Amino acid sequence: MASHRQTICLGGFRHANPIPSAARVGPLLASGLINGTDPASGALAEGLEAQCSFMFQQVRGVLAAAGGTPEHLVRMTVWLKDRTQRGPLNSEWLAMFPDTQDRPARLALQASELSGGILVQCEILAWLD
């Protein structure tokens, strides 16, 4: 029986474990954790601003690889090492979604146990009709 799941893998964006960047079943797209790695080098960026910028770039890449755009995003869950420092996250969010009447849901959580210098990471859920 053929699989109905499409596995999405991006260059320069790899997990330490054997899991893809995202998976799509029909119109539903769910990502694994997306962090602020530079897609050109695969290295984690230094500083929260740079990590947020690359994280949103990776989000766009995952969506594009699945045939979508940011308009297909339904929800983004974000984990921050310091939740009080949401300025860089909000800047990237507003750049991607400037229209106050056309934004997906977002949840930002505190995650003090992020490893390897990660300051921010997210996962996304999208509906690609």
Segments making up each domain of the chain, as ranges: 5-127
Whether the model clears a pTM of 0.95, i.e. scores above it, the answer is no
Q: What are the residue ranges in the chain where pLDDT is below 70?
A: 1-3, 11-16
Name the nearest CA neighbour of 59 among 89, 19, 84, 102: 89
Q: Check if the beta carbon of residue 97 is closer than 8 Å to that of residue 70.
A: yes
What φ, ψ does residue 106 adopt, rounded to 5°?
-145, 140
Task: Give the pLDDT confidence of 65-87 residue by residue, as tens digits.
Answer: 999 999 999 999 999 999 999 99
The C-alpha atoms of residue 24 and residue 38 are separated, in whole angstroms, by 24
Residue 103: the pLDDT is: 97
pLDDT at 40 (0 to 100):
86
pLDDT of amino acid 12: 61
From residue 103, alpha-carbon distances to 73, 98, 112 in Å are 8, 8, 27
* Distances 1 to 6, 22, 26, 43, 94 between C-alpha atoms, Å: 14, 22, 16, 38, 43
Q: Which amino acid is at 115?
A: S
Give 5-127's CATH code, choosing from 3.40.50.1000, 3.40.50.300, 3.30.300.30, 3.30.1330.40: 3.30.1330.40
Q: What is the pLDDT of residue 16?
A: 67
